[in-house]
Amino acid sequence: MGHRTGFVWGVLTLLAAAMPAPAQTLSNQSLSGQYFFRHVSLGLDGSGNLTDPRSLLGTMTFDGKGGYTYIGQQVIGAAAATSQTGSGTYAVDPAGFVSLASPLRSGATVNARLGSSVVLGSTTESTDNTFDLFAAILAPTASVGSALAGPYWAVTLEFPGGSRTNVRDAFFNLSSTVAGQFATVSVNGHAANLASGIPTTQQVSNATYTMSTDGTGSASFGAASNSQLLSGNRTLYLSSDGNMLLGGSTAPGSHDFFIAVKAAANATNTTWNGPPDHWGAGLRSDSSGALGYAGAVSARGLGFLTWTRRYKQLGAGAYDFTGVQTYSLNSDGSGTVLAAGAGLGPVALGAGGKTFIGAVVNSNDTGGYEIFFGAQMNALSGTGVFLNPQRVLNGASNAPAGNPIAPGEFIALFGTGMAPSAKVAAPPYLTNLNGVTVLINGKLAPLYYVSATQINAIVPYSTQGPTATVVVQNGTSSNTVTVPVAVTAPGVFALDQSGTGAGAVLHGANNAVVNAANPAVPGETVSVYLTGMGGVTPPVADGAIPGASNINASPVSVYVADVSVTPSYAGLAPGFPGLYQLNIVIPTAISVTGPVPLAINAPNAFHDQVTVMVQ
């Protein structure tokens, strides 16, 4: 038992690893002026058939007070484009989360995020069978040149004729050596009507473009053809900083999304680094229907990305996902990313590490057509007792902003001026540590660790959603931060401070650490340590020491190397408040060895960030 106790305390010390947090918080005033935008929305029937595609392309003007107007070209179904004007409302919270009234579907709200001169998102919270992707880029306020100062990396997702019969996505480079002319474009992609969706590469010659001084333009990739991955004409928009291109086609029945980022120069894996992290969004179509998502991505230059995504999927509704994808970058900013469960796909990092794009194009996912993109968050800071609105994180996974908190979860709060000095508590955890308190929905939270820049607390079990307010008190009160709340928000502790890699797992027989020198074997029982499993039965007081008897949490499934396992125990770890334990048997059906994925599937969330060593 002593070995186990020392191990668990070692795991908990990982909570106290400070992370930097640097200019202002955000509000409706942070979103003002003219933006170029593209919005594509897929309406499906209950069987997953695409029955109501809609697209809108144009300019949107935000008034800085919560209202916007737009003018653009709209395409519905297979019809020709028509001029469209309209208005709507929006609200920006201090972290950069944006609630945006959908310009395409009345009554719907886009779950968006405000990055550095970019708004992006998806309508994840509506209950209908619509799935969409929205992006807006800040328009230039000064004249721009007629030549595109690239190169750029670009992705497209297209539904020609408003149908999925010829759906396609592609990844390609755009380089202009002469104003108005693109060099030969090498296109990597796949299409449902070409070679059964097997990825291929095509060349597009004599592609041309125009660019006006206001940042509006067009591109021509030859005559429109369903035998080509990239063809036809596109309206193009250039962002104010020149780092992004956005656009699409307004031909009859055209529902496509085009987005490009200026290529990073002299890139390596270390170039993709934060904080600040990136907001991200994407849209996917496959045989099961469609899904859209909005979320965030953290990278620390180590060759992997941690995604948190709010998904809306046909037949599954909205749920939360956290996962890790490995990446490898070339010097021109292009590279590959290991898309979860789907093999390698192309990805590109934009200039200065400010943006990224990617697509799922690989032979293991021939029926999946998906693009995603992201933009760096605005760096936030404040005076006095300041809680960073973007950095209320799961204490185990470090999943980036947007991942919800859950009752009983260890969370990590980052900011400045939050405590007079560092101090660690021993259980039971009290609600005042070193003169510091934390209020979650007005209730005092038990505290494990406090310092000027980081606090680790346990979410009171009474916390209910959909959102909660968090306030730090250290002589005076901090700013109020609002975060999403869910029934569960699982995060497995890792053996290092990254939230990924080898998970905190013990051999059941002797409580020894499972690692490369002492791997688990099929048929063996092991214990997995995590947080965010939600309410427990019988109930325990906030911060109290759990007893030795079983204190059960919500049922979950565990996947070891993609093989489903039902835990024999899922509940609080004896003796450690806020720490949960899963006892599982390593499945005998595993056919691989080494570090294999260890994933948690809760009723409302999926967590896939760590591995377990199996021999």
What is the per-residue pLDDT across 493-551, written as a single tens digit (0 to 9) for each? 999 877 899 999 999 999 999 999 999 999 999 999 999 999 999 999 999 999 888 89
- Residues 531, 547: one domain? yes
DSSP of 231-274: -SEEEEEE-TTSSEEEEE--STT--EEEEEEEBPSS--GGGSB-
* Residue 36 vs residues 69, 302, 412: alpha-carbon distances, Å: 12, 34, 37
Domain's final residue, options 451, 484, 517: 484
Other CB atoms within 10 Å distance of the CB of residue 83: 9
Contact predicate 474/540, CB 8 Å: no
Token pair for 598: 């260890």
Domain's final residue, options 484, 507, 527: 484
Inside any domain, residue 524: yes
Inside any domain, residue 580: yes
Inside any domain, residue 372: no
Inside any domain, residue 522: yes
Q: What is the dihedral of CA 328, 330, 335, 341, to 10 degrees?
A: -20
Whole-angstrom Cα distance, residue 41 to residue 132? 4
Q: Are strands 481-484 and 437-440 parallel, antiparallel or unpaired?
A: unpaired
Inside any domain, residue 593: yes
Token pair for 353: 């590490």
Whole-angstrom Cα distance, residue 596 to residue 590? 9
- pLDDT at site 146: 84
- pLDDT at site 360: 94
- DSSP, collapsed to helix, strand or coil, labels residue 196 as helix
Backbone angles phi, psi at 70, to 5 degrees: -145, 160
List, as own/partner pairs, every contact residues 463-466 make where C-beta atoms lie below 8 angstroms and the sequence separation is at least 24, other chains included: 463/405, 463/406, 463/407, 464/407, 465/404
Q: Under 8 Å CB-to-CB from 489, ≥6 apart: which residues?
A: 320, 394, 403, 404, 405, 406, 409, 532, 534, 605
The pTM for the full model equals 0.95
- Residues 511, 594: one domain? yes
DSSP of 313-348: ETTTEEEEEEEEEEEEE-TTSEEEEEETTTEEEEEE
Other CB atoms within 10 Å distance of the CB of residue 228: 19
* Domain span holding position 400: 382-484
Inside any domain, residue 447: yes
Contact predicate 608/615, CB 8 Å: no
Inside any domain, residue 427: yes
Inside any domain, residue 130: no
DSSP of 96-112: SEEEEE-SSSTT-EEEE
Q: Under 8 Å CB-to-CB from 6, ≥6 apart: which residues?
A: none
- Residues 512, 602: one domain? yes
- Residues 566, 508: one domain? yes
Residue 24 CA neighbour count, 13 Å, CB half: 7
Q: Are strands 97-101 and 109-114 parallel, antiparallel or unpaired?
A: antiparallel
Contact predicate 528/492, CB 8 Å: yes
- Residues 479, 496: one domain? no
Token pair for 389: 């609105």
- pLDDT at site 497: 74
- Residues 477, 593: one domain? no
- Residues 508, 464: one domain? no
Q: What is the dihedral of CA 453, 457, 462, 465, to 10 degrees?
A: 40
- pLDDT at site 1: 39
| Distance, C-alpha 182 to centroid of its chain | 32
- pLDDT at site 18: 40
CATH number at residue 404: 2.60.40.10
Other CB atoms within 10 Å distance of the CB of residue 224: 13
- Residues 509, 596: one domain? yes
- Residues 456, 535: one domain? no
- Residues 434, 514: one domain? no
Instruction: Enumerate residue ranges in the chain where pLDDT < 50.
Output: 1-2, 17-23
- DSSP, collapsed to helix, strand or coil, labels residue 434 as coil
Contact predicate 340/253, CB 8 Å: no
Domain's final residue, options 484, 504, 535: 484
Other CB atoms within 10 Å distance of the CB of residue 40: 26
- pLDDT at site 44: 96
- Residues 509, 544: one domain? yes
Q: 430-442: b or e for each residue (b if 16 or more CB lie within 10 Å)?
A: ebebbebbbbbbe
Q: Which helix (H) or strand (E) holds 594?
A: strand 594-602
Please provide the size of the chain in residues. 615
Whole-angstrom Cα distance, residue 86 to residue 61? 11
Other CB atoms within 10 Å distance of the CB of residue 545: 15
Total of domains in the chain: 2
- pLDDT at site 543: 97
- Residues 594, 511: one domain? yes
Whole-angstrom Cα distance, residue 572 to residue 566? 17
